[in-house]
Structure 1
Amino acid sequence: MSSTLSQPMGSSIVRWHQRIENGFMVAVFSATIVLPLINAIGRPFSFALEGHSDYMRHLVLWLSFLGGLLATRSKKHLCFSTAEFLKNHPAGAPLNVLAMGIAAAICLIMAQSSWLVVKANRQMAESRAAVDVLPFGIPDWLSESIMPAALVLIAIRFVWQAHPRIFGQIVAAAIAWGGYTLIKHPELIEQWIWFASGVVLVSAVLGAPVFAAMAGLAVLFYLADGTPVSAVSAEVYKLIASPTIPAIPLLTACGCILAETRAAERLVTFFKALVGWLPGGIAVLVAGVCAVFTTFTGGSGVTIIALGGLAYGMLKESRYDDGFALGHVTASSSLGLLFPPSLPVIIYAVVVSGGPTAMGMGDGPSAAVAAEDLYIAGLLPGLLMALVVAGYGLVIGRRVEMERVEFDWHRLIHATWAAKWELSVPVIVIGLFASGLVSMVEAAAFAAAYVVVVQVFVTKDIHLTRQLPGVLVRTGVLVGAVLILLAAAMGLSAFCLVEAELPDLLLEWCQENIDSKVMFLLMLNLLLLVLGSIIEIYSALVILPPIIAPIALQFGVDPVHLGIIFLANLELGFLTPPVGLNLFLSSVRFEQPITRLYKVIIPYLFLLLASVMIITYVPSISIGFLSLFK
């Protein structure tokens, strides 16, 4: 009996349910791409889609929570790296039951919180006798009901995934229900706030998704403060109302579609023709290809998985030492996060530009930044980090690569032409936006549509009906994991910024203990380096900027420069022991002990650390370069 219950995938009902989820995701994603295109194309003809901003708000809402539901189904929610070490531990199974039970409890509380928001919106609409409607007469509140519905289903799936046997699932359900009932006793939460917060944090270490832990902390703090729990869900609307937020799924779609094609092969051919003739040309090639691929996919994990075997094999065939090949592929895969259309840049801009006075202190200056400014300011710093890694490969390659091909203009022109579709994506995003004719979201929609048309109808790497829907579903999983994390972060950030006045408290401490901008930047680098080594980049991007940005303003750090420092440090954090994400992924991908990765990555750590120091203390290479375009 337990075997049957613990294998829902064999049920036709579950398969039918999953097909419905997938179908909704494909439809919502397609609409998210098409609507901005209609608006942008119609603008020269004085045509505007009525209610466009409302439609996009609801589409992003569905992408967030339907995608979060799919991410739960696929076990793709962002978790702390420490959870991976518990999987094979004897205590791993019962600890997972505890973690998933707590995560389910938080989701149930959030479901009630979001239902209160939906109910309030419905009552407000009815009180003014004008219920807002979407196409086909669908009322706003009905579309917004995806929030509580998805959160309840996510909670159920967490319970199901807690343990393969029914007894473990019952225990997880009991933990979830017990935790949920605490919402009725805020006086207990106020009395035991720090103990309850510790339990939530421990659950994250044990494997509960980061979004659940952040939402749980927000709920606890608001309840202890006497604020209705619906305040957490209300912050979701602030996130969704951001004019830049739809660019996240659109640019993610670009990267995920390209990752499913032969784009990597065409990029390898291009870089081989461009730099293959250099001493160490293959090592330079690997750095270049990995940087470009990470730019498209938004994270180095995809690069290691998709390109790691190919890049490692090329280095070995060129007689590079095995240790160098491992270290070079691992380090190269962390490059590219500062180049357009990199997703972390958009996320940083959205997070740091939200909240009261856009993270400023009172009536002081704003820490808000535009994604396009970060893209431009990040070009030279990103190039510096890529050149440092490529340069080290070139130095080593002079002693290794005895046989080199001659430079051939015809080969380069042919390879450039073959890779023109992939190489033109960043140009489209920045070029369209810089023209002033379209918004960032519309530029991202053009890029997504361009990639779909090219890969389906020109290169024919993806079949329109057999493969593209699956790619959009997998993209939705990633988008859902990121957006639901951002939604939870907005609730926690709002409490830290407004209710707890955390930036003011930290600023007071910094002013008493840090006496200069130089020392503040040094302490910031140390903090980011440590945190970047133990938490995933998206988690770091939503946790830290809302707290640090207002303080940095008071020390005279330019908001754009701060963003580049953040991203450069997190890029380095991928490689920092003990559990830098790239080290763990390379260990799994190449079946090597992680301690060996610690050794082979050391030269790159020092080189990239030096480049981060240059980026930090020579702001002219970021904001100075940006000023040329203002």
Structure 2
Amino acid sequence: MNGSLAYESGVAIGRTKREWFSSFPVCLLLAAVVAFGAASDIHNKILQMGQAIWPGYYELRIEPVAPECNPNPNIESELQRLLAQQQAPADDLGLFEPDPVDPATLRASLLNAKAACVEKFQRYEAAKDRITPGVRAFRAGELFVADVIAFGLTSQRFILVILVLICAATATAGRHHIAMRPMVTVLDHRVSTALQLVANAMLFASSWSFRELGLAHGGESPQRDALHLLWMSGFGALTLMSLWQLIKIPEDAKPGGRFGGALLSVPLYTTMCLISGTYFMMEGHVAGVGIYLDKMMDLSDMFLNVGLYVWIGMMLKETRLASLVFNVFHPWKMPPEMLAFVAIAVAAIPTAYTGASGIFVIAAGSVIYLELRKAGARRQLALAATAISGSLGVVLRPCLLVVIIAYLNREVTTDQLFGWGGKVFVLTLMLFAAFSMTMNRRSPIALAPVRVAAPAMLAALKPLIPYVLAISAVTLVYSWGLGVGLNEFTAPRILPVMMLAILVYERYRTPSAAEKKESNGEVKCASFEKALRSATNETTTHIGALLFLMGLSVSVGGVVERSGLMELFPHSFASVWMVMLMLVAILVVIGMVMDPYGAVILVSATIAKIAYDNGVDPVHFWMVTLVAFELGYLSPPVALNHLLTRQVVGEEEIRLAQMEEGSFYQRHERILMPLLVLGSALSIVAFGPLAYQAWS
């Protein structure tokens, strides 16, 4: 009783050591990023207020300094002095006569200088008189906010490094790094942990070498050196953790195991690190991996936004919002295939706001899977829909991935990409409907009568009203209060506030009669602190897995760039059809092995120019790239989105799905359905415009 009261009052007595040293600091770091973003918006509004109250406030932001000139000079005396100075010999030898001096010109110059000085003193006196106690108080607050923003900008890189290292350590400690399959047997643990030990030791050696390289070339700024020391300390800690895990095999690990299966349990970041680290060591450039990891700092705001989107997704997972949205469609008694279509369509919106397909699968994949199963969907269909649920919305506004493409490539704009992205989304959605309804449909397309379904649907919409109000309230506060609209640039700092508002509402909401009836009147809402803590716990693990994977993807991209691999491909083609065919193949392969953000950086640096030089329209190229990436994330052997689906639905559901009988397609629908949908979409997006141009 007392413990419960203490917990509910906000005293986190039940917080574990992992939460104190991992998720709690991560929560503070992410909240700081949001706060710094809000401070920038607040500062702009403060400046506007200052300008409205005191016109010319920008001149009052600093204390005026008295001019050093003389406002009352003796013009005649100064004129005579200058004339005497001008008439003196130019050199001791007297070889050159001085140029003639016009006294009228000098007098006019002196009078102009006097007038300018008088004007400066007038402005100084006017500014001094305008700086009232009210201005000083307002200015103190405004400059304090400006200092907070400056501190946020200078600390952004440190926040990212600390965030990556804490989250990577958490994922390592919990053995939650992304791999083809989880560690189950003793051999799995030994092989996977041993290779992680080697990879982490490589990272430590590379970061050490990178720092020594900087010191050997005259040293670096204290800020850069501190970043190096942070990387070294973090990688050293990860190496020691891997060594301990190699010695201490979990007691629940099954005996035995197969070496081939054990290799599949090696995290993807480890494989990437071993590849890139080995390459750079063979080149005699041990610091290579560390240098490319340090390139994350140049895009620190982008990677911090990724962390924020993961946090948004995990907070969404803690709410009832996804289930309530599904409740709106339940009264229609849709067949599973149609409900899967609706789920994919609705999922596109939060996918666009969570920044990447993988993040959405982590956030809402389990809800989609369970809702489809409750509607009678077979496991293979439910898994297929879950895996592809995040793939269609990456082309819609305000997806972070599209913003990064426009940032790295001046040939395209976000408006162009999002404009065509809407068309690609409709195409892909229609293809999903066609394949799901024709390839393996087992239920008749029949809906509940309108007179029955419509009233129930309206009743199901009522619980969503408070959520709409909470979202609208936050939007209005930013829009009217701070003059900041919700778009692709502001979404990372506004959406966390929206999700926090929803969590607060759910903490204090009154349970419905149906909920009370279902639980015999004992409905307890999770506390805000508990929900936020749970969301941040999952966020910490996923950020560690994703950002570490992204960082090592950048290093693999560096290997591709430095090795000249792209030079093996021809840079000019006789036909735009041939270049498009090559681009499609390369982009799909990149999508298979790299995360989206690292892949975009690589493609921007290496492949995009080949496309442009061979007559491929930049907007067309990037639409092809986005669809090809999503096809790659759903394609074996890696199939990242399927790996994430496995994480959220559980190994048991995957095992039961693999035991389902039927035709080859029915037994492998979870893999084949997404491949058919996105493969067809890619073919149309890549070659459709070329065919239209040739025909016209």
Do these two structures clear the TM 0.5 threshold for a shared fold by scoring above it? yes
Partner residue, 2:95 = none
* Per-residue CA distance 1:552-599 (angstroms, 9 max, x = gap): 233233444333323322323444456635556377535221875424
Asked if residue 390 in structure 1 is aligned to residue 433 in structure 2, the reply is: yes
Q: Would the aligned equivalents of 1:217 and 1:492 in 2 still touch at CA under 8 Å?
A: yes
Partner residue, 1:589 = 653
Query: Which of 481, 499, 505 does residue 451 from structure 1 map onto?
Result: 499
Closer/same/farther in 2, CA of residues 94 and 322 from structure 1, 3 Å limit:
closer
Q: Would the aligned equivalents of 2:392 and 2:428 in 1 still touch at CA under 8 Å?
A: yes
Partner residue, 1:565 = 624
Partner residue, 2:321 = 263
Structure 2 residue matching 1:76: 3-state secondary structure: coil
**Counterpart-to-counterpart distance in 2, 1:37 and 1:524:** 41
**Counterpart-to-counterpart distance in 1, 2:344 and 2:151:** 45
Following superposition, the deviation at residue 488 of structure 1 comes to 3.0
Partner residue, 2:448 = 404
**Counterpart-to-counterpart distance in 2, 1:426 and 1:122:** 50
* Bigger mean CA offset, 382-391 vs 540-549: 540-549
Structure 2 residue matching 1:34: 3-state secondary structure: helix
Q: What is the root-mean-square deviation of aligned Cα atoms in Å?
A: 4.5
**Counterpart-to-counterpart distance in 1, 2:159 and 2:416:** 26
Partner residue, 2:370 = 309
Q: Would the aligned equivalents of 1:235 and 1:494 in 2 still touch at CA under 8 Å?
A: yes
Following superposition, the deviation at residue 613 of structure 1 comes to 1.7
**Counterpart-to-counterpart distance in 2, 1:464 and 1:40:** 26
Partner residue, 1:463 = 527
Following superposition, the deviation at residue 213 of structure 1 comes to 3.8
Asked if residue 239 in structure 1 is aligned to residue 300 in structure 2, the reply is: no
Give the letter aligned to residue 263 of structure 1.
L
Q: Would the aligned equivalents of 1:96 and 1:163 in 2 still touch at CA under 8 Å?
A: no
Asked if residue 156 in structure 1 is aligned to residue 240 in structure 2, the reply is: yes
Query: Which of 170, 175, 180 does residue 75 from structure 1 map onto?
Result: 175
Q: Would the aligned equivalents of 2:470 and 2:502 in 1 still touch at CA under 8 Å?
A: no
Closer/same/farther in 2, CA of residues 162 and 427 from structure 1, 3 Å limit:
farther
Partner residue, 2:208 = 112
Closer/same/farther in 2, CA of residues 593 and 19 from structure 1, 3 Å limit:
same
Q: Would the aligned equivalents of 1:267 and 1:419 in 2 still touch at CA under 8 Å?
A: no
Give the letter aligned to residue 684 of structure 2.
I
Partner residue, 1:199 = none
Give the letter aligned to residue 110 of structure 1.
S
Closer/same/farther in 2, CA of residues 36 and 313 from structure 1, 3 Å limit:
same
Following superposition, the deviation at residue 142 of structure 1 comes to 4.2
Following superposition, the deviation at residue 451 of structure 1 comes to 1.4
Structure 2 residue matching 1:465: 3-state secondary structure: helix
Larger radius of gyration: 2
Give the letter aligned to residue 112 of structure 1.
W
Partner residue, 1:95 = 191
Comparing both chains, which one has the higher relative contact order based on Cα–Cα distances under 8 Å and sequence gaps of 6 or more? 1
Q: Would the aligned equivalents of 1:251 and 1:343 in 2 still touch at CA under 8 Å?
A: no
**Counterpart-to-counterpart distance in 2, 1:204 and 1:373:** 46
| Unpaired runs of at least 5, structure 2 | 1-14, 48-141, 251-259, 509-524, 691-696
**Counterpart-to-counterpart distance in 2, 1:367 and 1:31:** 31
Partner residue, 1:612 = 682
**Counterpart-to-counterpart distance in 1, 2:677 and 2:474:** 27
Closer/same/farther in 2, CA of residues 15 and 117 from structure 1, 3 Å limit:
farther
Asked if residue 420 in structure 1 is aligned to residue 464 in structure 2, the reply is: no
Partner residue, 1:29 = 30
* Bigger mean CA offset, 52-61 vs 439-448: 439-448
In the TM superposition, 1:28-67 aligns within 5 A as: 28-46=29-47, 47=142, 48=146, 49-67=149-167
Partner residue, 2:517 = none
Q: Would the aligned equivalents of 2:352 and 2:395 in 1 still touch at CA under 8 Å?
A: yes
Closer/same/farther in 2, CA of residues 482 and 347 from structure 1, 3 Å limit:
farther
Asked if residue 555 in structure 1 is aligned to residue 614 in structure 2, the reply is: yes
Following superposition, the deviation at residue 394 of structure 1 comes to 5.5
Partner residue, 1:187 = none
* Per-residue CA distance 1:507-553 (angstroms, 9 max, x = gap): 43x53xx5322222223333444565577667766666644333323
Closer/same/farther in 2, CA of residues 145 and 88 from structure 1, 3 Å limit:
closer
Structure 1 residue matching 2:530: 3-state secondary structure: coil
**Counterpart-to-counterpart distance in 2, 1:393 and 1:144:** 52
Asked if residue 478 in structure 1 is aligned to residue 542 in structure 2, the reply is: yes
**Counterpart-to-counterpart distance in 2, 1:419 and 1:35:** 26
Closer/same/farther in 2, CA of residues 380 and 445 from structure 1, 3 Å limit:
same
* Per-residue CA distance 1:437-481 (angstroms, 9 max, x = gap): 799554311121121122224665763322313322421332233
Following superposition, the deviation at residue 294 of structure 1 comes to 4.6
**Counterpart-to-counterpart distance in 2, 1:19 and 1:404:** 51
Following superposition, the deviation at residue 367 of structure 1 comes to 6.7
Partner residue, 2:341 = 284
In the TM superposition, 1:530-541 aligns within 5 A as: 532=591
Q: Would the aligned equivalents of 1:385 and 1:608 in 2 still touch at CA under 8 Å?
A: yes
Query: Which of 224, 229, 235 does residue 145 from structure 1 map onto?
Result: 229
**Counterpart-to-counterpart distance in 2, 1:349 and 1:473:** 33
Q: Would the aligned equivalents of 2:553 and 2:595 in 1 still touch at CA under 8 Å?
A: no
Give the letter aligned to residue 32 of structure 2.
A
Structure 2 residue matching 1:592: 3-state secondary structure: helix
Asked if residue 339 in structure 1 is aligned to residue 396 in structure 2, the reply is: yes
**Counterpart-to-counterpart distance in 2, 1:571 and 1:45:** 43
Q: Would the aligned equivalents of 1:482 and 1:538 in 2 still touch at CA under 8 Å?
A: no
Give the letter aligned to residue 540 of structure 2.
G
**Counterpart-to-counterpart distance in 1, 2:474 and 2:276:** 37
Closer/same/farther in 2, CA of residues 20 and 149 from structure 1, 3 Å limit:
same
**Counterpart-to-counterpart distance in 2, 1:425 and 1:377:** 31
Q: Would the aligned equivalents of 1:425 and 1:447 in 2 still touch at CA under 8 Å?
A: no
Partner residue, 2:72 = none
Structure 1 residue matching 2:616: 3-state secondary structure: coil
Following superposition, the deviation at residue 333 of structure 1 comes to 5.8
**Counterpart-to-counterpart distance in 1, 2:346 and 2:373:** 12
* Bigger mean CA offset, 102-111 vs 408-417: 408-417
Q: Would the aligned equivalents of 2:195 and 2:266 in 1 still touch at CA under 8 Å?
A: yes
Closer/same/farther in 2, CA of residues 159 and 165 from structure 1, 3 Å limit:
same
Structure 1 residue matching 2:678: 3-state secondary structure: helix
Following superposition, the deviation at residue 112 of structure 1 comes to 1.7
Partner residue, 1:186 = none
Closer/same/farther in 2, CA of residues 248 and 88 from structure 1, 3 Å limit:
closer
Partner residue, 2:639 = 580
Closer/same/farther in 2, CA of residues 163 and 570 from structure 1, 3 Å limit:
farther
Give the letter aligned to residue 78 of structure 1.
I
Q: Aligned pair count?
A: 530
**Counterpart-to-counterpart distance in 2, 1:479 and 1:331:** 21
TM-score calculated relative to the size of structure 2:
0.64
**Counterpart-to-counterpart distance in 2, 1:431 and 1:93:** 52
Closer/same/farther in 2, CA of residues 484 and 52 from structure 1, 3 Å limit:
same
Q: Would the aligned equivalents of 2:292 and 2:558 in 1 still touch at CA under 8 Å?
A: yes
Give the letter aligned to residue 249 of structure 1.
G
Q: Would the aligned equivalents of 2:361 and 2:389 in 1 still touch at CA under 8 Å?
A: no
Closer/same/farther in 2, CA of residues 378 and 558 from structure 1, 3 Å limit:
same
| Unpaired runs of at least 5, structure 1 | 1-13, 126-130, 133-139, 167-201, 354-365, 621-630
Give the letter aligned to residue 408 of structure 1.
A
Query: Which of 201, 209, 212 does residue 267 from structure 2 map onto?
Result: 209
